[in-house]
Structure 1
């Protein structure tokens, strides 16, 4: 997937890209978190909503 397609990507196309990005950020550790924090706007409601869903998935609270 190329960046311009992100705006129109459906969930099935976007999920594998997001998983790969999250896994890579996990490998990078704090450096990855700091890089992400530099571009996330404070109070970004869409980011906050997405992060809460990722938290639920990580906790096993969203069945497949």
Structure 2
């Protein structure tokens, strides 16, 4: 998958890419967090929504 495919990708296609990217960012520590943080606008509602879901996943609260 390339970044140009993201707009039409399904959750099934995005999930493994997102999972691998999040794991890699975790391995990179703070540096891994700072790079994407620089891309996020304060009023980005889509990002806030996604971050909320990721928080639920990390807490083990979301299963199917």
Structure possessing the higher relative contact order (Cα contacts under 8 Å, 6 or more residues apart): 1
What TM bracket, shorter-length normalisation?
A: over 0.9
Describe the SS at the equivalent of 2:38: helix
RMSD: 0.7
Task: Compute the TM-score of the two structures, normalised by the length of structure 1.
Answer: 0.95
Q: How many pairs were matched up?
A: 64
Give yes or no for the alignment of 1:51 onto 2:51: yes
Q: Which of structure 1's runs of 4+ aligned residues deviate more than 3 A?
A: none
Q: Which runs of 5+ in 1 are unaligned?
A: none
Q: Which runs of 5+ in 2 are unaligned?
A: none
Task: Compute the TM-score of the two structures, normalised by the length of structure 2.
Answer: 0.95
Give the distance between the partners of 2:43 and 2:52, measured in 1 at CA.
14
Give the distance between the partners of 1:56 and 1:12, measured in 2 at CA.
18
